[in-house]
Amino acid sequence: MVRRPRLDQRLWLTTLVTLALATAGGGAFAAMHLPAPWMSGALVAVTLWVLAGRPAVVPAPLRILTYVVLGASMGGALTPQSLAQASAWPLSMGFLVLNVVAVVAACVFYFRRVAGWDLASALYASTPGALSAVMALAESTSADLRKVAFSQGLRLFLLVVGLPNLLNVIGLDAAAPPAAVAAEPMVGLAELLAASAILGLLFDRLHVPGGLLLGAMAASAALHISGLSTAHIPAVLMIPAYVVLGASVGVRFAGTRMDTLKANIIASLGGFAVAMVISAAFSILAALATGEDTGKMLTAFAPGALETMTALGFALGYDPAFMSAHHLFRFVGLSVALPFASHLLVLLSRNERP
């Protein structure tokens, strides 16, 4: 009797292929000296693979470990000096609120009037970030989930791949990315990762947005600022973490049909352009008002996922506390506002019926 391959064997094989492709993509980008190479190169490689109809997967335990490693590294980069600058954050967050409102309004107008999408699809495709809340609420409406998911996924793809290179070309990239650490004493490193994992899992269990990443970062920051730890995450762990994160974003395109791609790519690219032009304008205004770096502000205002954009900002050398605070602020704000917007959408839909 011929035995069928076990499901877990297929999963392991698919995982290994996915990670091999992601590593190759990251290595290619690193060889070309592109910014944030391991993350963006992995994303491009895996996205092309799944769009070709090939299977790819990043298991949940691997993603959890990745967020713990990244969070622990970010927390180690926090200093009392960077936290002392938090007094200026309310002003930049005020600009962020105006930016989000303007982005949503302009993108809804674009998707409705130019692309010809229905109101529900336009609203949820226009929401900058908070993808979990967006998809959960969109499922209860008449929104075309394929349009919403594709538009949101394409925007994140373009941000991860394009934003670092855009900042580099126009000279707005950070002065220096985080320095790689060659080696660390295993005891101190293990303690740091254990504490980061415990608080990260606790935050996640308490349903804190981006809990794994933010909890790990909080634990690491507390240990470093208090002087209880001097350990830092070595490059041998950071590079795989960025590779896994890039691959995790890429696998979101799995199952995307070519007809969906052809039907929605032009409209989605237009929506992305509208969102980025507005975000760039508000980033410049916020930078002028606060004296902050424009590239740093644009990365904080960029309409992408909380964990991914925070990690991208860190990879570019920006203050992780600033990045996480602004992306978390937007996520929470959108999560609170979206249910009310959904209710209003239902009322408007009823009024539009003959």
pLDDT in tens, 234-281: 888 999 999 999 999 899 888 888 888 888 999 999 999 999 999 999
- The confidence band for 125, taking pLDDT boundaries of 50, 70 and 90, is very high
How distant, in Å, are the alpha carbons of 24, 112, 148, 271 from that of 122? Answer: 36, 6, 8, 10
Q: Does residue 26 sit within a domain?
A: no
Q: Does residue 122 sit within a domain?
A: yes
Indicate yes or no: pTM above 0.85. Answer: no
The 8-class DSSP code of residue 88 comes to G
Least-confidence region, from 23-32, 109-118, 164-173, 344-353: 344-353
Q: Does residue 21 sit within a domain?
A: no
What is the average per-residue pLDDT within 280-285?
96
Indicate if the pLDDT at residue 185 is higher than 60: no
Contact (CB, 8 A) for 82 and 321: yes
Q: Which of 154, 224, 212, 152 is nearest to 188 (CA)?
A: 224
Q: Does residue 136 sit within a domain?
A: yes
H helix intervals, 52-185? 60-77, 80-84, 89-109, 119-126, 131-138, 145-169
- Tokens 């994140």: give the residue: 156
**Could you tell me which residue, 157 or 36, shows the higher pLDDT?**
157
Note down the domain range covering 154.
59-352
Contact (CB, 8 A) for 320 and 78: yes
Q: Does residue 23 sit within a domain?
A: no
Q: Does residue 111 sit within a domain?
A: yes
Both tokens assigned to 174: 């950070």
Q: What is the pLDDT of residue 179?
A: 52
Q: Any residues with CB less than 8 A from the CB of 152 and at least 6 apart, and which?
A: 125, 127, 131, 134, 135
Q: What is the pLDDT of residue 22?
A: 96
Burial degree of 291 (CB within 10 A; 0-12, 13-18, 19+):
exposed
Measured CA to CA, the distance from residue 253 to residue 196 in angstroms comes to 30
pLDDT tens column, 163-176: 988 888 887 665 55
Q: What is the pLDDT of residue 1?
A: 41
H helix intervals, the chain? 7-31, 37-51, 60-77, 80-84, 89-109, 119-126, 131-138, 145-169, 186-205, 211-225, 235-250, 258-290, 294-301, 306-315, 320-352
pLDDT tens column, 73-113: 988 877 777 677 777 789 999 999 999 999 999 999 999 99
Q: What is the pLDDT of residue 2?
A: 43
Question: From the CB of residue 273, how many other CB atoms can be counted at a distance below 10 Å?
Answer: 13
Q: How many domains does the chain have?
A: 1
Q: Does residue 32 sit within a domain?
A: no
Q: Does residue 63 sit within a domain?
A: yes
How distant, in Å, are the alpha carbons of 7, 11, 40, 147, 352 from that of 175? Answer: 47, 41, 19, 38, 52
Average pLDDT taken over every residue of the chain: 86
Contact (CB, 8 A) for 162 and 283: no
**Could you tell me which residue, 10 or 288, shows the higher pLDDT?**
288
